[in-house]
Structure formats: structure tokens, C-alpha cells
Amino acid sequence: MSLTDVCTPILDTATRPGANARSVLLFINGLGYGGAEVQVVQLATGLRKRGWDTTVVTMLPPRRFTDDLDRAGVDLECLNMRRGVADPRAILRFRRILRRKRPQIVHSHIAHANLLARLARLVCPMPVLITTAHSMIEGGRMLEIAYRLTDRLADLTTNVSQAAVDRYVRIGAAPSDRIQFVPNGVDLERFRPDESQRQSLRTELGVSDQFVWLAVGRPTAAKNYPNMIDAFARLSDLNALLLIVGRGEMEADLRQRADQPALRGRVRLLGARSDVAALMNSADGYVLSSDWEGMPLVLQEASCTRLPIVATDVGGNREVVVDGRTGLVVPAKDPAALAAAMRRVMAMTIEQRRELGSAARQRMAEVFDLERVLDRWEGLYHELASRRIPVLSGQ
């Protein structure tokens, strides 16, 4: 008997009376400083404003956004798992929440939450389950096999870039007819040019006439900050400053690299910050040196702030940055190419950089505006829920 044979009767009985017609439960590993976490909070609060009964459930205790969700009227629950510890009881805790909330839509995010939600469907019916991946690579081969084996337990899988969708199909993690591209949405009102923010924060940071490069993201292997620092070291003849925002497992190594004599004082690690929008206004350019990505929300936020961008050619970066029109795209793991592109942006006139930035913000408004993305999600929720209605009428 295949997993599909086991799953089919469970999925067919999922739409039972009692589910709230406009109720969504968003499920994620945790709430920290990552782009996926930011996106889930934006979806939760945006859907709540549109009249949805919205709940966020985390596997790990949340570290951020609790006040934001509370102010928006979004319920927050936690399975109280511990990082790195597999706890089968979490499925039972999740089942209790589902039985109490009875959401019409369960929408999970990131690999571990996606797999737990799929397995929970074996013991607790869900009218609709959508699982969203947020990267080209979420883990090793075993995780990709787990995605394939549990695919039928979800109604739909999505990823945040078309490049990532194509890879998931190619490696067999999801069939092409059961996975879609739905981008991250960006808040154009929050991320916008603001000259007063720029001046006040540059004063606070002690920045005068330096060209300021900004990078935001947890120091992890995926971000390849050593590549960025190597590239920036090649610009020692220029009056430039590199600001890096984020905390992660490679932070100590990053601080050691930034403390080398040629870079001392020219690279600043700011740690975790809650004022990213203001920091983007203080910068003159944005740089991303990742080895792999899904679709980085920070590139969208930088684009909204009209920053010229230099980014590596991985994941969905080209879907955000149009090479030569809204920024520059360079090969990954090539500090010489990254440095050359950064030097090229610094050599531009202010008017040329503004032209890149204006085109970038226009692209965000046309393609990635949060309200457009919320429209897309609502459309998918209604479409998938409507497919279950005939089952109800036959009971």
C-alpha cells in the first residue's frame, strides 16, 4: 500500500462541518529575525485586516513579533519544542490546537513545520493544507525525500521563487502540477525613501561622506559573508563602509575577519536590529553575497527604498534584481566579480544610482507589492477550499 492510498481517505474527509469559512492558521518553526518569519507576520496581520480569523502557531518559543501580532488581533500559540530535539508529542499538541481553532486553511512555512503539518494531517483532518518552502535548499537529500513521500498530504506546495520551484520539480521533491510560485510580498509603505531618516541615522552611526554598503541577514553558510568581506577588502582604495546586520552561528568568525588590519573600522557588525527600514535609508547601496537563496525579502525591501543592489546570481535573485536595470547580478563565490560590481556602482553618478533605485521600486510596486501578494493568497485559499465543497454536500 502506498502513502497515497493511506492519505486519500483522510484528505477526502477533511472538510467536515465546523471549520470556520474565513479562518487561517499559519504554522512556522519559530519567530526570529529571518525573512520567512517577517513574511508570515505580514501575511497574518494583512489577512487579519481583511477580516480573516487568523492564528499563528510556532514550533519553538517566539523571540520576536509577539507584540505586533497582539496589536493586530492575531492569536499566537506555541508547541514549545526545543531546537534540535525531535518530539513526537508536538503532533498531539498541534492536533489539540487544530481541534480547538478548526481553521478552514492551514498554511505552514519552512521545512520542519511543513513536514510536521503534513504528518499531523494523518491524525487530524484539515480542510485545506498549503505548505510553503522559502529557499532553493532547505536541507539535505533526506529532507527532499521526505517532501516527496509526504507530498499527497498537502493540497498544494509553494515556493517563493520560480527558480526554487523548478529545482524542487527537477529533484523530485514535488510534482510539477502540485507546486506553484508565490512570491514574498513587501510593504511599500514601510520601506520607502526617507531623507530625514537617512540623515539622522548616518549622524547616529558617525557616517559622514563614506559610501555605505548595507547587508542584512543572519551570518550562516548560505549567506557566504566571507565572500562579501573578501570583495570589500578589494575596495580598500575607496572611502567606503560596510554595515552587516544580523546574528547567527558564524558571527564570531565574521567578527574575526572584519578585525583584520586592512578592514578595521571599515566593516561594522551591528548585530540584530529592529530598524532595518531606517538603516536602508542610511545606506548608499545594498550587497548580497549568498551561495543559495529562495527569494530574499531584504532585496525587495532594499528595492523599495530605491537602493542600487549588487547580488549574486542564485535562487530568485534575478527575479528581483534585473541586471543592469535595477541593479547588478554577479556569479556566486567570486569575490573579484562582486568587488568589480560594487566598484562600478560606486563610480556611478548620484543620478545614475537614483535611476537604478527608481526602476527597482517601480518593479516592486508592479510585481511584489504586499497587497497584490495577499490577493494571490486569498485567491488560492478560496480556490482550494471550494474544491472540498462537493465532499461536504455528499455527507
pLDDT in tens, 118-129: 999 999 989 999
Q: Tell me, what's the pLDDT at 85?
A: 81
For residues 380 and 382, give the distance between their C-alpha atoms in angstroms, rounded to a whole number: 5
Burial per residue of 275-300, b for 16 or more beta-carbon CB atoms within 10 angstroms, e otherwise:
ebbbbbbbbbbbbbbbbbbbbbbbbb
- Alpha helix segments (H runs only) across the chain: 3-12, 35-49, 66-72, 89-101, 111-120, 141-149, 162-170, 195-205, 225-233, 251-258, 276-282, 297-304, 317-320, 335-347, 350-363, 370-386, 389-393
Give SS3 for 273: coil
- Asked if the 3-185+370-393 domain carries CATH number 1.10.645.10, the reply is no
Which phi and psi angles does 64 have, rounded to 5°? -145, 165
For residues 384 and 103, give the distance between their C-alpha atoms in angstroms, rounded to a whole number: 14
- Among 151, 157, 149, CA closest to 181: 157
Q: What is the DSSP letter of 252?
A: H
For residues 287 and 309, give the distance between their C-alpha atoms in angstroms, rounded to a whole number: 6
Name the CATH superfamily, with its identifier, for domain 195-368. Glycogen Phosphorylase B; (3.40.50.2000)
Q: What is the DSSP letter of 381?
A: H
- Residues in the chain, pLDDT under 50: 1-17, 390-395
| Strand ranges across the sheet with 285-288 | 267-271, 240-245, 211-216, 285-288, 309-312, 327-330
- Grid coordinates given for 277: 527600514
**Under a CB-based contact definition with an 8 Å cutoff, are residues 128 and 384 in contact?**
yes
Which phi and psi angles does 48 have, rounded to 5°? -60, -40
CA torsion through residues 159, 163, 164, 170, sign: positive
Q: Tell me, what's the pLDDT at 345?
A: 98
Q: Tell me, what's the pLDDT at 391?
A: 36
Reported pTM: 0.86
Residue that has been written with the C-alpha cell 505548505 in this structure = 131
Return residue ranges of the chain for CATH 3.40.50.2000.
3-185+370-393, 195-368
